Amino acid sequence: MEGKLVVLEGPDGTGKTTQAKLLAEFLESKGFKVHMTKEPTNNSVGRAVRRNVRIETKIDDPLLDALLFTADRRSHLIEEIEPKLNEGFIVICDRYYHSTLAYQHTQGLDLEWLVGLNSFARRPDITLVFDLDAELLYKRLFSSFSRIMKDKSKDHWMHKFETREFLKRVRENYKKLQKRLSNENIFFIDASAKPPSIHKEVRKIVSKNLKI
């Protein structure tokens, strides 16, 4: 089987990372070679991205965000994704260019410009967008991080993309992508369901579209 690229998208707190792991286990049980990866990466550009999205960053510039995320993606494709696909792996990627389109468009950048900026990127075979009401999502994020960092104020640990209003607009912009990228296999999944139910839906979509 030739390599396939499966992308899991959506804001932090939707459970996509958990679902990526469950999907990898399912595909491996079927005998496929699976490689899990994510964006931002852990390479030098990815680390710069991570520093830049912290809420205490000194430079809050949407253009810089878009260029950093996209530079990291270019490196990711060259160093990791394409080689694994060429070796016949199913690559499961936690975030891809859809995040840049949704988030940086929410920051005010032109969607068509962002699409053009990422035109070099390989199209995924399947993109799963985990969708959740912004208010519920914010509560999940607050609960999760407050357990980890009880001694720090939320403004210290929150990403600049994790305010209620921003998350509402990101959700709307993810929905825009299904129409704008109509030539892609994009599926929305209700992330408010229980993890086993979500995994069942993910398996169904992936099995049908990869014909496995």
Q: Which two tokens stand for residue 67?
A: 């260029």
Quick count: other Cβ atoms within 10 Å of Cβ 82?
15
pLDDT score recorded for residue 54: 66
DSSP H helical ranges for the chain: 16-29, 44-53, 62-76, 82-86, 97-106, 111-117, 134-148, 154-157, 164-180, 195-210
pTM across the whole model: 0.89
Q: Is the pLDDT of residue 52 over 80?
A: no
Q: Is the pLDDT of residue 114 over 60?
A: yes
Q: Is the pLDDT of residue 150 over 90?
A: no
Mean pLDDT of 176-191: 96
Q: Where are the domains of the chain?
A: 4-207
Identity of the residue numbered 128: L
**Mean pLDDT for all residues in the chain:** 89
Contacts of 145 (CB under 8 A, 6+ apart): 154, 157, 158
Mean pLDDT of 26-52: 91
- Domain spanning 4-207, CATH architecture: 3-Layer(aba) Sandwich (3.40)
pLDDT score recorded for residue 157: 41
Closest CA to 100 of 132, 126, 73, 76: 73
**Phi, psi angle pair for 190, to nearest 5°:** -70, 110
Q: Is the pLDDT of residue 21 over 80?
A: yes
Q: What does the pLDDT look like over 115-144, one tens digit per residue? A: 999 999 999 999 999 999 988 888 877 665
- Is residue 26 within 8 A of residue 203, CB to CB? The reply is yes
- Is residue 122 within 8 A of residue 99, CB to CB? The reply is no
* Bridge pairing between strands 4-9 and 186-190: unpaired
Q: How far apart are CA 25 and CA 156, in angstroms?
A: 35
Instruction: Label residue 151 by pLDDT band (50, 70, 90).
Output: very low
H-run or E-run covering 190: strand 186-190
Q: Is the pLDDT of residue 156 over 50?
A: no
Which class for 135: exposed (0-12), middle (13-18), buried (19 or more C-beta within 10 A)? exposed
pLDDT score recorded for residue 138: 80
Instruction: Label residue 57 by pLDDT band (50, 70, 90).
Output: low
Q: How far apart are CA 53 and CA 165, in angstroms?
A: 17
Q: How far apart are CA 11 and CA 38, in angstroms?
A: 13
